Amino acid sequence: MENPENLNIYKASRTIKRSENTLYNALRSIYEDSIFVGEIAQLWPELPLLANLRCGLWYSLKFHSSCYFKSTDGHTNNWSFNTSRLNLHVALLAGQKGGCMIVDSTRKGKRFPDSMSKTIPIWTCVLNRAIRNYRTRFGLTGSAEKNESNDSTECGNTINEDSYNWDCSLHLPLWVSNTERALIEERLDGWTKDLEVSGADIASIALSLKKPLRPLWISQKTVIWLNEVPDCDSWDFTPIILVSTSSPSSNFQQRTTSVFSWRYIAGAGDDEESWARGLSPSLFWKHAYDLINSGPDTCNKTVADIVEKDRVYRAQRGENAPQISIKPSKSSVSSGHFPDQEQLDLELQCMNIDEKSYDKNSISWLGETNLAVGKTQLAKDASGVDCVLSCDLETNSFCFKESGANLNLSIVSSKFDRSSLLRNLPSAVNFAKNNLRKGKRLLVCCNSGEDISICVCLAILMSLFDDKGHFDEGRFFNETRINKLELRRRLVFICQFAVNARPSRGNVKQVFSYLCGGNVAITS
């Protein structure tokens, strides 16, 4: 242990922060913030509530679904519109329901995370521009083909007029500077072109949305007069209501109840690997009453018992249930066509133990490709599947009549092995080719169904299918020079069906390296 006299100010502040960031403080803070989320949700009960992964997932029991807008895409001088995270299902849902609410939080003492301040506003603006362009093209085509009919001409003029009135402005919160706004606006046309050439189904979104998308911001400091809450239908836009759960007063606030004293942590749901001890959001809400009432002294033990019972339950059902070990931190200073008083870290023998996907009872079929993707625990009960390609560390057995209908590949995330996926892709593609050529329906699965399995499907689609989504055993791939644009287009195709897809950059890079490495053998 380092002598306290030798601690500098930075280390001392880190020590104090760790002593405050206990498991009970985090869970109690999440619970208190969830009350605010519930109150806002009741103001517009007709709007679906979405969790922005992964932090937002902790703050409600009643999420309709999830989305994935990264704060890094909104960081100053790092603005981005990422076609691998289009979140088109959010736009479609907003069009169907008249809007939606997205929940997230931040630890940095700000009212809103950058995902809400800039990433989502950029996303809504780019989508609005792409929709306007689509509506304009549709209107011009309609006028040209039906100019013999006055009624058709009037219809075409109406469409064009609506397109010109379609709001494509960049709507940012007031705290974003004019300089930053101007720099973002310079990039909007380029991002719109990226979206239009990505293969995204803009037509479906344009037909679903009757009014342009627009973000609204609500935090715990927002003043809302309950007798003047506007009806969503009264707005001339489709609202994307961004609910930040964090109280911005300070990172840590001392709070006291009749029984316990605890400290509030803003954005407590962030970076769950460093504090949750294997507890997932679903487990937390299943046992929230017991956890909140257990108090700071027994919270750690209560969590350990809950996590272990859940692990045993899943293991008995044949699901992936890795053993979880906990060690003190080194820095601890105390003990269609296409923290008790110590900071603790988790050592997971598997990348993802949480059930992050909301579509837990189904797998995602990728159009008409005979390819499906999903979580391993769903594979045994999946209907219409002839063969399974499992990418889990643990060996899984599946019962099929024919031999060779199951392949297990132990693939780990790029965080642990930068070439694990790359080494296994030849075997995966060859297995897929041998089964798809027989007309079999193939399920590719991994523990989460969101990363490794998505990247394996991406490699299969690039290697064995042409640009129209037809299986050709690799002919198109061998005759075409692979580029990142085509890779992004295929990934967008996958994400249209697997809306919870979250492929990591490291794994996508391995797929690209594999595709640039050689040809696919074609057998007649």
Residue 231 DSSP class: P
- Could you tell me if 202 and 156 are in contact, meaning their C-beta atoms sit under 8 angstroms apart? no
Q: What is the pLDDT of residue 314?
A: 77
Q: Which residues pair with 215 in a beta bridge?
A: 240
Q: What is the pLDDT of residue 5?
A: 56
155-183 b/e (C-beta count within 10 Å ≥ 16 → b): ebeebbeebeebebebbbeeebeeebeee
Residue 309's SS3 state is: helix
Q: What is the pLDDT of residue 448?
A: 86
C-alpha distances out from residue 468 to 264, 368, 472, 491, Å: 53, 11, 10, 14
Q: What is the pLDDT of residue 164?
A: 56
DSSP string, 395-457: ------SSTT-EEE-----TTT-TTHHHHHHHHHHHHHHHHHTTT--EEEEESSSSSHHHHHH
Q: What is the pLDDT of residue 491?
A: 92
Residues contacting residue 91 through CB under 8 Å, at least 6 positions apart? 127, 205, 208, 209, 213
Other C-beta atoms lying within 10 Å of the C-beta of residue 200 = 23
CA distance 126 to 134: 12
Q: What is the pLDDT of residue 524?
A: 43
Q: What is the pLDDT of residue 384?
A: 87
C-alpha distances out from residue 247 to 131, 255, 275, 379, Å: 36, 13, 20, 42
Q: What is the pLDDT of residue 447?
A: 87
Residues contacting residue 252 through CB under 8 Å, at least 6 positions apart? 17, 20, 263, 264, 265
- Could you tell me if 153 and 143 are in contact, meaning their C-beta atoms sit under 8 angstroms apart? yes
Q: What is the pLDDT of residue 429?
A: 95
Q: What is the pLDDT of residue 438?
A: 92
Q: What is the pLDDT of residue 424?
A: 95
Q: What is the pLDDT of residue 332?
A: 37
- Taking each continuous run of H as one helix and of E as one strand, the counts in the chain are 17, 14
Q: What is the pLDDT of residue 485?
A: 87
The H-or-E segment that residue 199 falls in is: none
- Could you tell me if 448 and 409 are in contact, meaning their C-beta atoms sit under 8 angstroms apart? no
- Could you tell me if 270 and 105 are in contact, meaning their C-beta atoms sit under 8 angstroms apart? yes
Question: What parts of the chain have a pLDDT lower than 70?
Answer: 1-7, 9-20, 139-164, 249-259, 318-361, 401, 518-524
- Could you tell me if 355 and 280 are in contact, meaning their C-beta atoms sit under 8 angstroms apart? yes
Q: Give the pLDDT confidence of 43-52 residue by residue, as tens digits.
A: 999 999 999 9
Residue 379's SS3 state is: helix
